[in-house]
Amino acid sequence: MLNNKNVIDGKILAMVDPEHLAPLLAEAAMTNACTRRRLQFELSVLKGEDIPAAVHEWITEFGEQTSFLDTEQIGELAEELNAMRIAIAAHVSRAAPTVAPDLMWRFFTLAGTIFERTSEEGWEISDVFDRACSDLIKLSIDTSVEPVQFATKVGAAIISNHYGEYRALIPAISSAQPWAPAYVSELKGLLQG
């Protein structure tokens, strides 16, 4: 039997016969909502389904959760949240690049869903949102979102920063200065005006 010293590692699991592993994953997905949502997304990708729609559904289902979260669940949700962030930054940005910035903005709405359901500090969650700030800027610039539209959304985000989900937005924009001067200039004008 496994004990705490025998950590289940993804590389080791890859060596297990898929015929044996699939029922175990299905069973885990039935008892763990985070695992189920992540597997549903991966299956959508595998089937060649509409990736933005799959991520949108993932965000919606995640946002509908209402149960109180303890410390262990916060860590697990942080992993799922990070997988969702990566899905937008990687899968959606390749499949439908112009949709990716809007989905990332929607991703930020999940902060309230999490922080209102726990008394924990949730630094793991905050770290995911910090990385999402950088992703948002890159996705916006890569898809040529209008600088004025971008600055308006950023201004609104800074004002509504209820849970600290946008705390890394200004530093991320500042670091984008060399390759996105129009975005930085527009934002400066909006904030100073």
Domain coordinates in residue numbering, the chain: 15-192
Tens of pLDDT, residues 7-66: 667 787 777 877 877 777 777 767 788 888 989 999 999 999 999 999 999 999 999 999
pTM for the whole structure: 0.84
pLDDT at 7: 67
Long-range interactions of 47-52: CB distance < 8 A, separation 24+: 51/87, 51/91, 51/92, 51/95, 51/96, 52/92, 52/95, 52/96, 52/99, 52/100, 52/103
Given a cut of 90, whether residue 118 has pLDDT beyond it is no
pLDDT at 181: 80
